Amino acid sequence: MKQEHILIIGAGGQIGSVLTDTLRELYGDDRVVASDLHPLEGQSGPTEVLNALEGQALEAVVKKWRINQIYHLAAILSATGEKDPMRAWNVNMTSLFNVLEIARQRGLGKVYFPSSIAVFGREAAPVDTPQYEVLIPETVYGISKVAGENWANYYFRRYGVDVRSLRYPGIIGYQSMPGGGTTDYAVDIYHYAIQKKPFECFLRADTRLPMLYMPDAIRGTVELMEAPANSLSVRTSYNLAGMSFTPEEVASSIRKLMPNFKITYKPDFRQAIADSWPAAIDDSAARYDWHWHPEYDLDAMTKDMLRHLAVKYHLGELA
């Protein structure tokens, strides 16, 4: 066991809930403090109710548990952010500044801050979007992630804070539900399919977006955090890719196992957000620097998602 004292902020969310379990397996239950705005149930290790907008409360938790690493996952995501842009900006930036400042003041070992494909806008190359590309996002979420990446880089270069970051694509997992993003359909669709319900998709059939299966996302996060500092050439945020698909392609993948699955399309305001994002991004910097490689393609993910959801919904073995 490694002697880290880790704080996860936003541990109750889609990614945080899975990451908490993985980090506890790696470092020990008692070494990983899971925190969120609301009490967390069913935990195998310590928890805190923590609003990351409150700097003094964050400092108290860091002192109490002798924290030396923070995974800062709390954020307002793309679709929810567009409903109240000022709130999204405040939550995403104030919480990040609180984390970066506590890390600087107390000399914390490492900080993890996830960025997103939302940093890209229509001016960026839509396919194989390079690591270093023009960043003109069209959502407040994307603007906050571009700003966050640059502040991460600033704190690293100016103060030596070891902040590490990944530009996650849409993350898909069976363990948890997504929290207000534009890629959420790609999780919801599996829940409808396994329950034999027709699915109405809020994106057009041909909307191609970068996606990543949860096990790959969690493994990539841990691998980045464990990589030697001198191997990391990117101190804003690494492009991270897994697969790219359209809603129609997920539906076809599901139909290989559930031939009667039905999908209809009713695009809403999230279509414009998706249209401003790339279809596939180039993650060669991550592959070169810390040997990133995804394991799941669409069909492998579909099989695994449906198998686990069948258990979750008490449907027995998937035929």
Q: Which does 182 bind (CB under 5 to 8 A by kind): ligand SER, ligand NAD, none?
A: ligand SER
Q: What six digits make up the tokens of 198?
A: 């027709």
Q: Which is nearer to ligand NAD, 69 or 95 (CB)?
A: 95
Least CB distance from residue 77 to ligand NAD, whole Å? 5
Residue 120 has a CB neighbour count (10 Å cut-off) of: 27
183 binds ligand SER per the rule CB under 6 A? yes
237 binds ligand SER per the rule CB under 6 A? no
- Whether residue 199 contacts residue 193, with contact meaning beta carbons closer than 8 Å, is answered with yes
CA 179 to chain centre: 10
- Whether residue 104 contacts residue 97, with contact meaning beta carbons closer than 8 Å, is answered with no
Phi, psi of 316 (to 5 degrees): 75, -160
- Name which of 202, 201, 208 is nearest 261 in CA terms: 201
Q: How far apart are CA 274 and CA 127, in angstroms?
A: 14
Site string for ligand NAD, 54-93 (x = CB under 6 A): -------------------xxx-x-------------x--
221 binds ligand SER per the rule CB under 6 A? no
Q: Are strands 243-245 and 209-213 parallel, antiparallel or unpaired?
A: antiparallel
173 binds ligand SER per the rule CB under 6 A? no
Interacting stretch for ligand SER, rule CB under 6 A, among 57-65, 93-101, 112-120, 248-256?
A: 112-120
Pick the catalytic residue from 27, 71, 141, 185: 141
- Name which of 275, 49, 310, 80 is nearest 196 in CA terms: 310
Least CB distance from residue 116 to ligand SER, whole Å? 3
141 is catalytic: yes
In the complex, which residues of this chain contact ligand NAD (CB under 6 A)? 9-10, 12-16, 36-37, 50-53, 73-75, 77, 91, 95, 114, 116, 168, 170-171, 178-181, 183
